[in-house]
Amino acid sequence: MNLLLLLPRFSLWWVSISLLFTVTIAQDSPLITRISFGSCANQSAPQPIWEAINKFDPQLFIWMGDNIYGDIRKPIKVIGKERTFGPWRNSPRFIPSSEEEMKLRYAKAKSNPGYSRLKRNAKVIGTWDDHDFGLNDAGKEFDHKVTNQRLMLDFLDEPLDSPRRKQAGVYASYTFGPTNRKVKVIVLDTRYHRDPLRSDGSILGDTQWTWLEEELRGQRSEITIIGSSVQVISNLSATTGPLFYMESWGRFPKERKRLFKLISDTKRNGVIFISGDVHFGEITRYDCAVGYPLYDVTSSGLVQSVEKVFPRPLRFIVRLLFWYTPSTMRVINDNCKFKACTYGQSNFGAISIDWNANPITIRLEIRDVNGFAVLGTNVSLSELQARGSNSPTNPPTKGKSQRYCTLEVELPGTKRYRLAVLIYFTIAVLAMAFVGLIIGVVLMITACVYKNKLD
């Protein structure tokens, strides 16, 4: 009988010991000071950038998608029975690979010596984008997504009993660091539940939205990094259209407003976005969403990059077009290697946290294949705290002092479409010059023939 009376006390004692042990583990969690991330790593191409990433010596590496290129890209054909390019195309440019081919491509990526070394020294987490999801620009309609989720989680060495293997989508969250110096990392899945482009439907789907709200309302962290495979802040499609369009949250304006409102409503401070997908590096900022500046550091790609499409002597054209394209969100400062403050060669993202500084300082960078910073900005953690009542429904007054408050879609048409006007004008001039050349040649030939007849 006495033993039975002692059982409740024993249980309380054991619970107390367990709680104490949990807190001790949390307090002893290693301090995170260096985080790297990247996207767009074509497994079939050389990957020298791993040397620079390993030299940075990150404690955490985050895959931001296109970790492999798993789909098959067919050649560009504008004529013939199978046309893959232009408004007259009748065949898709990209088709999915088989499960066996996906496994082979993942195995090749995983066996890279530089990546293997990184895995030995850092924790590796991540999400996916379209090419490792299985098909270019695909969303919830893609019928290989269940199989490909398993393959992607195998690549990340996700435990067999992980909740990520039982849910629809690869979204996840992690918390690192001791009390009062915690870093929470949330990786989103912008593919599994995404509605079609141009639908302004959902990106995350109801279940993931509910989960994200719980994560943002959950345990406090000094810094919260939200990883999205596509850009959150920048919406260059608003200024590059109708020439071409890129995927981003800006193409789903209702979803982006919902995301900003959720951060504001949950009073989550210290949020920083990281992203990939676009094949160039960029740092953007939006001040009129949650009461403090939101930064988005885009690193793309580890291998694939926009300048590689052009011969080296012509790469200056890419930089010129970047500079000419209007961007209201891009961070432009003296830390940029090029005037446009974008970087179109191989790159990776680097986040350095100085917890000993007063105030705590976060260094956001894009680094090149040699490990040198080509874009960068310093952010004080005290800056990432909501002040006053600024929110998506009550933003601060816009003006010259609010440089990062005008969305690209809000630009006047004369500025917003100036890239398209330039390109179309250039094409028209070249076309007229070509026609003029042909007419000139015809007239010369005609004159010669006439002269010969007279002779």
pLDDT for position 14: 35
For residue 9, being part of any structural domain is answered with no
pLDDT for position 76: 86
Residue that finishes a domain, picked among 413, 428, 443: 413
| Range 398-424 average pLDDT | 84
Q: Is the pLDDT of residue 13 over 90?
A: no
Alpha helices in 28-126 (DSSP H): 49-56, 99-110, 113-121
Same domain, 309 and 356: yes
Q: Is the pLDDT of residue 104 over 90?
A: yes
Burial class (CB in 10 A: 0-12, 13-18, 19+), 306: buried
For residue 327, being part of any structural domain is answered with yes
Domain of 63 in residue numbering reads as 29-413
Same domain, 379 and 366: yes
Burial class (CB in 10 A: 0-12, 13-18, 19+), 378: middle
pLDDT for position 455: 67
Same domain, 422 and 409: no
Q: Is the pLDDT of residue 346 over 80?
A: yes
Query: How many structural domains comprise the chain?
Result: 2
For 251-276, the pLDDT digits (tens) are 999 999 999 999 999 999 999 999 99
Lowest mean pLDDT among 112-121, 172-181, 341-350, 386-395: 386-395
Residue 395 sits in a domain whose CATH number is 3.60.21.70
| Range 433-444 average pLDDT | 92
For residue 86, being part of any structural domain is answered with yes
Q: Is the pLDDT of residue 18 over 50?
A: no
For residue 360, being part of any structural domain is answered with yes
Same domain, 398 and 335: yes
Q: Give 310-360 as a DSSP string.
A: S-GGGHHHHHHHHHHS--SSB--STT-SSTTS-B-SS-EEEEEEETTSSS-
Q: Is the pLDDT of residue 6 over 80?
A: no
For residue 233, being part of any structural domain is answered with yes
Bigger pLDDT: 388 vs 56: 56
Q: Is the pLDDT of residue 314 over 70?
A: yes
Same domain, 408 and 421: no
Q: Is the pLDDT of residue 135 over 90?
A: yes
Bigger pLDDT: 88 vs 68: 68
pLDDT for position 78: 81
Listing from the earlier edge strand, what are the strands of the sheet with 348-354? Answer: 123-127, 60-64, 34-38, 348-354, 361-367, 373-380
Model confidence band, residue 356 (pLDDT cutoffs 50, 70, 90): very high
| Range 166-174 average pLDDT | 98
Same domain, 385 and 239: yes
Same domain, 323 and 438: no
pLDDT for position 403: 79
- Residue % of the chain over a pLDDT of 70: 90
Same domain, 307 and 375: yes
Same domain, 209 and 293: yes
pLDDT for position 452: 78
Cβ atoms of 404 and 287 closer than 8 Å: yes
Mean of pLDDT over the chain? 90
Same domain, 301 and 430: no
Bigger pLDDT: 115 vs 446: 115
Q: Is the pLDDT of residue 290 over 80?
A: yes
For residue 18, being part of any structural domain is answered with no
Same domain, 374 and 453: no
Q: Is the pLDDT of residue 399 over 50?
A: no
For residue 19, being part of any structural domain is answered with no
pLDDT for position 28: 54
pLDDT for position 195: 98
For residue 51, being part of any structural domain is answered with yes
Model confidence band, residue 22 (pLDDT cutoffs 50, 70, 90): very low
Same domain, 450 and 302: no
